[in-house]
Structure 1
Amino acid sequence: MASQAEIARSSSGEVPFAFSELFYSRTDPRGVILAGNDVFQRVSGYDWAELLGAPHRLVRHPDTPRGVFHILWGALGKGNPMGAYVKNRAKSGQHYWVFAVMLPIAGGFLSVRLKPSSPLFGQIREIYEELIAHEQEGLDPEAAAQWLRGVAHKKGFSSYTSFMAYALGQELTARDARLERPADARTRVLTEMNEALEETAREQGRLLRSFDSLQSIPNNMRIVASRMEPTGGPISAISENYKISSQAISARLHSFAGARDSLIDRVSREVAKALFLLGCGRVLGEMTASIAAAAPAPGIDWEVERTLLLGLERDCARDGREAMLRAVEHSATLNRASAEVRRHMLGLDTIRVLGRVECGRMRDTGGLAATIDQLDAFHAEIKGRLETIMRLSEKIGLSMGSYLRASKAA
């Protein structure tokens, strides 16, 4: 039942429902409603005869950007689960917000929805208001979806999927707190892991930019060398060796951190998938228990729905564990690649030191010394970033182990 605070909000046009309540609906591939639960029917305000056989857009509210649905249907069409904050409209014209977890199933789609309450929810409403304004100015759904992906990227997430996986973790944690029950250990571990991965991706992006900036320094060394020594002299040789070594390291970095479908992308994607599937499994389990006690509804066979939900819950647990095992494998490769770059940096340091020695031998106090000073600063920055990445990688590895142990215990 709704609390007094929730009932009070109904006067502002919001339909009240409790944090303990979950919405359930199932549709065919075209989005036509085939089944739903009593929460969906009651809050939407429609009779069963009006809901069953109607398109799910019956409850769509214009304050939910079209770009959100573009992302949702794109993911579902590829066979992937997806989540979204959605503002719906009841038959009375009132509205209600949900965080929707949607999954593709044989013969259509299934959605379980909960009441959002995390701090992120407030941010999302502001984001939607801004996007709606852009859409009203003519932004099409595909461009709106790209705009949302840009928002996720600005918030530090490598993909919108990762952003929504994080959102689901936040909403489940907030819901546990609202219902005064212990936080789920696996959700906490996966959320922390997701955050560490996104920070790793950001740090690697900074590292790549540092290396790209480094590429101009050997050219400066050669220019200085041309004024100080004959062609092919020691400074020229040092600058050429430095250029070759730094380019090799930069190429290696781009291969596992910079390119699309890079190692860091793969780890992040698999962890986000595991987090999302774990969240799906949790709400599906609650939904199954709720349906077991559901009152008869015309046109709905609750045993069919319960069997379907049980199967999906098992699938989510299996697929989530498999995603985490793949993430563990990619993470191990990523750690090895990071360690390899760190070893190569030692070689680059040696070349830099040779440059400093040669600078002292030639008693240079001008351009070459300034160039070597630049190298010193870049190397200190790069070493710091590599140490941060290795620390985050270690944290991710420990979190993965904790998740697998918690998953096995559960």
Structure 2
Amino acid sequence: MASQAEIARSPSGEVPFAISELFYSRTDPRGVILAGNEIFRRVSGYDWAELLGAPHRLVRHPDTPRGVFRTLWEALGKGNPMAAYVKNRAKSGQYYWVFAVMLPIAGGFLSVRLKPTAPLFTRIREIYDDLIARERDGLDPEASARWLHDVAQAQGFSSYTSFMASALGQELAARDARLERAADARTRVLTEMNEALEETTREQGRLLRSFDALQSIPNNMRIVASRMEPTGGPISAISENYKISSQAISVRLHGFAGARDSLIDRVSRDVAKALFLLGCGRLLGEMNASFLAAAPVPGIDWEVERALLLGLERDCARDGREAMLHAVEHSATLNRASAEVRRHMLGLDTIRVLGRVECGRMRDANGGLAATIDQLDAFHAEIKGRLETIMRLSENVGLAMDRYLRSSAATVV
């Protein structure tokens, strides 16, 4: 039950519940409620006869954007776990906020929900207020879901999935702290890894923009060369070689960093999935333990629910480790690709130096060629710096992956 202190702090119209309490519900593929726990029944305000067999949207609050549910169902439909902040409505008309973690299971879906307390929750409510206003002005659910993806990117994440994986890590850490429990080392490692990957993604975006800007310089060099030497002269040849080499590097960069389903995208998705599964496993274990003392409910077999949760907890440990192994493979390929780009940059440097030598030999009177080479110098310094940062971040991610795999090996059943 919620403590008196929590009830006293609860805003008017909000149903109070304790941070130690977890909601549980299980539905069929259409979202019809097949089982739930006493916390869900009590806070929602419905009797069991009203909940069991009813659609889960019974507790949906209009202040939760439709784009949130579109995003949830899209992920679940692909067989992936997902999480979201959700504002629900009780039978009395009051509301309550939860952070919902959802899993696709055989014969439907399962959700465990906790009380949101991380600092991010304040920002999420502001985002929802904005999005609800847009939906009321005619924004459809699909466009609303895309808007959420844009919000995730604005927050520095490559996808909404990664954003919510980070939110799960933050909420679990905040809950542990409020309950005065020791921080879970594996959750912390995965959260840090997720954040490092997102920083890698942002750095790669900057690198791609630098390379795209670099493509105009060989053209400038040819224009200068046309005024200084006959057609086909050394500067023209250098500019053409530079153009061909830089375009080849750009293609490689876009292949592992710029496209949808790129290497960095795969690593990020796998780490986010591992974080989801780890969090789910922790919550399922806690939920399962609470069923030992559950009062009998007509229509719910607690032994069946416990067996289901135990199996899912094992599956989460196994699948989370598998997702991390996939991430390790993709990360190793990403590191090799980054190192290969760095080697190609050395070849590009050689062409740049030849341009500088030729500039000195021709005694560039008006400084046009020298200024162009200076631009190349600046871009090369920036690009090499970004590559070094990406390599360092990738190495840190790899080390974190090793720590996680070592710490999680004992949990695989």
How far apart, in 1, do the equivalents of 2:84 and 2:315 lie?
A: 21
Structure 2 gap segments, 5+ residues each? none
Residue in 1 aligned with 2:357? 357
Residue in 1 aligned with 2:191? 191
Instruction: Name the SS for the 1:236 alignment partner.
Output: helix
Residue in 1 aligned with 2:345? 345
Residue in 1 aligned with 2:51? 51
How far apart, in 1, do the equivalents of 2:10 and 2:408 lie?
A: 40
Q: CA RMSD in A?
A: 1.0
Residue in 1 aligned with 2:18? 18
Residue in 2 aligned with 1:68? 68
For the pair 1:406 / 2:368, whether they are aligned, the reply is no
How far apart, in 2, do the equivalents of 1:2 and 1:281 lie?
A: 24
Q: Deviations over 1:355-406 (max 9, x none)?
A: 1111111111411001001001100110110011011001001100111111
How far apart, in 2, do the equivalents of 1:324 and 1:244 lie?
A: 37
Correspondence list, 1:122-133, <5 A: 122-133=122-133
Q: Deviations over 1:216-260 (max 9, x none)?
A: 101111111111111111111111111111011001101111111
Residue in 1 aligned with 2:314? 314
How far apart, in 1, do the equivalents of 2:5 and 2:252 lie?
A: 56
Q: Which amino acid aligns with 2:105?
A: I
Q: Which amino acid aligns with 1:316?
A: C
TM-score, normalized by length of structure 1? 0.98
How far apart, in 1, do the equivalents of 2:268 and 2:311 lie?
A: 27
C-alpha deviation, 1:53, in angstroms? 1.1
Q: Which amino acid aligns with 1:91?
A: K
Residue in 2 aligned with 1:9? 9
**Which stretch has the larger CA shift, 6-15 or 147-156?**
6-15
How far apart, in 1, do the equivalents of 2:383 and 2:88 lie?
A: 49
Distance 1:301 1:208, change over 3 A: same
- Dislocated runs of 4+, deviation >4 Å: none
Residue in 2 aligned with 1:373? 374
**Which stretch has the larger CA shift, 358-367 or 43-52?**
358-367
Instruction: Name the SS for the 1:15 alignment partner.
Output: coil
Residue in 2 aligned with 1:335? 335
Residue in 2 aligned with 1:201? 201
How far apart, in 2, do the equivalents of 1:6 and 1:79 lie?
A: 37
Residue in 1 aligned with 2:157? 157
How far apart, in 2, do the equivalents of 1:179 and 1:84 lie?
A: 22
How far apart, in 1, do the equivalents of 2:172 and 2:302 lie?
A: 26
Residue in 2 aligned with 1:120? 120
How far apart, in 2, do the equivalents of 1:183 and 1:409 lie?
A: 18
How far apart, in 1, do the equivalents of 2:339 and 2:4 lie?
A: 57
How far apart, in 2, do the equivalents of 1:367 and 1:114 lie?
A: 64
How far apart, in 2, do the equivalents of 1:73 and 1:181 lie?
A: 33
Instruction: Name the SS for the 1:16 alignment partner.
Output: coil
Q: Which amino acid aligns with 2:71?
A: I
C-alpha deviation, 1:80, in angstroms? 1.3
How far apart, in 2, do the equivalents of 1:196 and 1:218 lie?
A: 34
Q: Which amino acid aligns with 1:397?
A: G
Instruction: Name the SS for the 1:12 alignment partner.
Output: coil
Instruction: Name the SS for the 2:111 alignment partner.
Output: strand
How far apart, in 1, do the equivalents of 2:329 and 2:238 lie?
A: 38
C-alpha deviation, 1:11, in angstroms? 5.3
Distance 1:130 1:323, change over 3 A: same
How far apart, in 1, do the equivalents of 2:5 and 2:161 lie?
A: 33
Instruction: Name the SS for the 2:283 alignment partner.
Output: helix
C-alpha deviation, 1:32, in angstroms? 1.0
Instruction: Name the SS for the 1:364 alignment partner.
Output: coil
Q: Which amino acid aligns with 1:383?
A: K
Instruction: Name the SS for the 1:310 alignment partner.
Output: helix
How far apart, in 1, do the equivalents of 2:183 and 2:271 lie?
A: 19
Residue in 1 aligned with 2:396? 395
C-alpha deviation, 1:4, in angstroms? 3.3
How far apart, in 1, do the equivalents of 2:60 and 2:207 lie?
A: 44
C-alpha deviation, 1:409, in angstroms? 4.4
Q: Deviations over 1:116-162 (max 9, x none)?
A: 10011111000000000001101111111111011011111111111
How far apart, in 1, do the equivalents of 2:212 and 2:49 lie?
A: 63
For the pair 1:274 / 2:274, whether they are aligned, the reply is yes
Residue in 2 aligned with 1:300? 300
Q: Which amino acid aligns with 1:160?
A: Y
Number of residue pairs the alignment of both structures matches: 410
TM-score, normalized by length of structure 2? 0.98
Residue in 2 aligned with 1:290? 290
